């Protein structure tokens, strides 16, 4: 009987396609440490993010593919995830240990941008990723309240700010530093930009898979500074179904487009209300606002979050719903959105990797 070879195994495995990246798992380098001895097959499947929506599907497809290879007696697979770098680090010595930076933006205040940023950070962290949260909403930093850490003792080590630790997240907020009620209003453009740069660059974020930056609403200095100071993976836009919110969201989208900053996609908050009596979804503010934006501006629609008193109480009492009620439908909606966001980051990372490879092989012009 012919012995099965590594080539045959790889050929079969390359029929498994990552549904997000639309590439086969072998050419994406997801098969690691492959050993094949006398029909005993062993390898590690390294997924692109622990929060990938298709992790189970890919694992299943791999098992099916292996079962179709003749001559495999035993099969052993370890499944891990290594988040891909979604930002070009070669031009960026600052923050080189942060693989992805996601700016969370909105057209106007009160749409739940901070709530989404925080619960997104917690969800990604719960999936096993290393996550930081920078509250850059300088005029109304709400993350300390939402995490129940009003006053953090910020420490400096080697001239670097040490982030606070909360529920597995590394957190820095303008709210930790100042009596913002009295001070924030007097800050102007250059000072604000300077503070943001310091929070980004002079903080010891250490190794992070995702740094979530909660931006102030609108298109002011902070989003501009973030977009122009360091390479970021992209911007997540939070909106609500109401026309007004959607229209201002479009302005923010326009600004990031002009700056050539990738848009990860749009999440709609307060989309619907689940009736406690009949369990039905009621689209109290109208249906499909964010979906329309996503279609019109060709950016991914990444999820809808219900209007829910548990979400509000969680934010207002410093006990986010992802921690207090992780099995609730609201928490599930955050999880679904976070998976889609992580998947989009992997897609942007794969695109970046391709662009960098194309640049590397480009022939140097001869004179
Ligand atoms: P923004 O950052 O856009 O200003 P916040 O995240 O601070 O908005 O949210 C504004 C208010 O709305 C907060 O009181 C928050 O608890 C509440 N909120 C946010 N999202 C929801 C939701 N899905 N359901 C109920 N209340 C929400």
Q: How does pLDDT run across 210-262, given as a tens digit for each residue?
A: 999 999 998 888 888 888 888 899 999 999 988 777 788 888 899 999 988 99
Show the CA angle centred on residue 318, arms to residues 162 and 304, nearest 5°.
Answer: 100
pTM recorded for the entire structure: 0.90
**Complete domains list, the chain, with CATH:** 6-81 (3.30.300.130), 93-340 (3.40.50.300)
- Tens-digit pLDDT profile for residues 164-183: 999 999 999 988 876 645 55
* Mutation to probe ligand 1, out of 312, 314, 319, 337 (largest number of atoms < 8 A from CB): 312
Residue 143 pLDDT grade (very low, low, confident, very high; cuts 50, 70, 90): very high
The predicted model gives 303-330 an average pLDDT of 93
At 361 the pLDDT is 75
Q: How far apart are CA 300 and CA 266, in angstroms?
A: 6
Which residues, judged by CB distance below 6 Å to any ligand atom, belong to the binding site of ligand 1? 106, 109-115, 142, 269-270, 305, 307-308, 311-312, 315-316
At 365 the pLDDT is 61
Taken in order 16, 20, 21, 22, the sign of the CA dihedral is positive
- Which atom from ligand 1 is nearest to the alpha carbon of 137? 2
Number of Cβ within 10 Å of residue 259's Cβ equals 12
Tokens found for residue 354:
């391709």
Mark 82-98 as b/e (b = at least 16 C-beta within 10 Å).
Answer: ebbbbbebeebeebeeb
At 367 the pLDDT is 47
At 198 the pLDDT is 87
Give me the torsion for CA of 60, 64, 69, 71, rounded to 10°: 80
Query: Is 91 or 303 the better-scoring residue by pLDDT?
Result: 303
At 219 the pLDDT is 83
Atom 5 of ligand 1, residue of closest alpha carbon = 112
pLDDT at 366 over 60: no
Q: How far apart are CA 103 and CA 223, in angstroms?
A: 8
Q: Which of 145, 132, 226 is nearest to 181 (CA)?
A: 145
* Mutation to probe ligand 1, out of 239, 252, 315, 320 (largest number of atoms < 8 A from CB): 315
Q: What's the mean pLDDT when you consider all of the chain?
A: 89
Half-sphere exposure of 7 (CA within 13 A, CB side): 1
pLDDT at 312 over 70: yes
Atom 16 of ligand 1, residue of closest alpha carbon = 312
Q: Determine which of 13-22, 279-288, 290-299 has the lowest per-residue pLDDT on average.
A: 279-288
What is the 88 CA–ligand 1 centroid distance (Å)? 33
Query: Is 10 or 95 the better-scoring residue by pLDDT?
Result: 10
- Which atom from ligand 1 is nearest to the alpha carbon of 106? 3
Atom 19 of ligand 1, residue of closest alpha carbon = 112
What is the 50 CA–ligand 1 centroid distance (Å)? 27
Instruction: Give percent above pLDDT 90 in the chain.
Output: 59
Strand pairing category for 131-135 and 234-239: unpaired
Instruction: Give percent above pLDDT 70 in the chain.
Output: 93
Taken in order 179, 185, 191, 194, the sign of the CA dihedral is positive
Query: Is 346 or 53 the better-scoring residue by pLDDT?
Result: 346
Strand pairing category for 169-173 and 164-166: antiparallel
Residue 92 pLDDT grade (very low, low, confident, very high; cuts 50, 70, 90): low
At 327 the pLDDT is 94
**What does the longest C-alpha to C-alpha distance in the chain come to?**
81
Query: Is 314 or 337 the better-scoring residue by pLDDT?
Result: 337
- Which atom from ligand 1 is nearest to the alpha carbon of 108? 3
Q: How far apart are CA 273 and CA 271, in angstroms?
A: 7
Query: Is 195 or 12 the better-scoring residue by pLDDT?
Result: 12
Helix (H, G, I), strand (E, B) or coil at 340: helix
- Tens-digit pLDDT profile for residues 2-46: 588 899 999 999 999 999 999 999 999 999 999 999 999 999 999
Q: How far apart are CA 297 and CA 281, in angstroms?
A: 27
Q: How far apart are CA 136 and CA 234, in angstroms?
A: 16
Atom 9 of ligand 1, residue of closest alpha carbon = 112
pLDDT at 338 over 70: yes
């Amino acid at each position: 009987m012919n012995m099965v070879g590594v080539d045959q195994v790889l050929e079969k495995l390359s029929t498994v396609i990552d549904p997000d990246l639309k590439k086969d798992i072998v050419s994406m380098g997801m098969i690691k440490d492959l050993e094949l001895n006398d029909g005993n097959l062993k390898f590690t499947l390294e997924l692109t993010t622990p929060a990938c929506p298709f992790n189970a599907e890919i694992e299943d497809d791999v098992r099916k593919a292996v079962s179709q290879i003749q001559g495999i007696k035993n099969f052993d697979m370890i499944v891990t995830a290594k988040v891909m770098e979604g930002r070009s680090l070669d031009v960026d010595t600052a923050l080189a240990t942060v693989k992805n930076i996601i700016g969370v933006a909105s057209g106007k205040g009160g749409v739940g941008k901070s709530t989404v940023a925080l619960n997104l950070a917690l969800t990604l962290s719960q999936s096993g990723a290393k996550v930081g949260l920078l509250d850059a909403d300088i005029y109304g930093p709400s993350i300390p309240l939402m995490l129940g850490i009003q006053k953090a003792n910020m420490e400096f080590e080697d001239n670097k700010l040490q982030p606070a630790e909360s529920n597995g997240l590394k957190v820095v907020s303008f709210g930790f530093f100042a009596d913002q009620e009295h001070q924030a209003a007097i800050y102007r453009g250059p000072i604000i930009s300077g503070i943001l740069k310091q929070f980004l660059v002079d903080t010891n974020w250490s190794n992070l898979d995702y740094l979530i930056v909660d931006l102030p609403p609108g298109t002011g200095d902070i989003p501009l500074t973030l977009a122009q100071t360091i390479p970021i993976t992209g911007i997540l836009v939070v909106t609500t179904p109401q026309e007004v919110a959607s229209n201002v969201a479009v302005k923010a989208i326009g600004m990031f487009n002009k700056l050539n900053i990738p848009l990860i996609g749009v999440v709609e908050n307060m989309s619907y209300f689940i009736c406690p009596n009949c369990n039905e979804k009621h689209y109290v503010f109208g249906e499909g606002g964010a979906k329309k934006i996503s279609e019109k501006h060709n950016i991914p629609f990444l999820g809808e979050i219900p209007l829910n008193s548990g979400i509000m109480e969680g934010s207002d009492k410093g006990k986010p719903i992802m921690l207090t009620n992780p099995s609730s439908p609201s928490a599930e909606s955050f999880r679904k959105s976070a998976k889609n966001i992580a998947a989009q980051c992997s897609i942007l990372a794969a695109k970046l990797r391709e662009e960098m490879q194309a640049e590397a092989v480009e022939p140097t012009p001869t004179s």
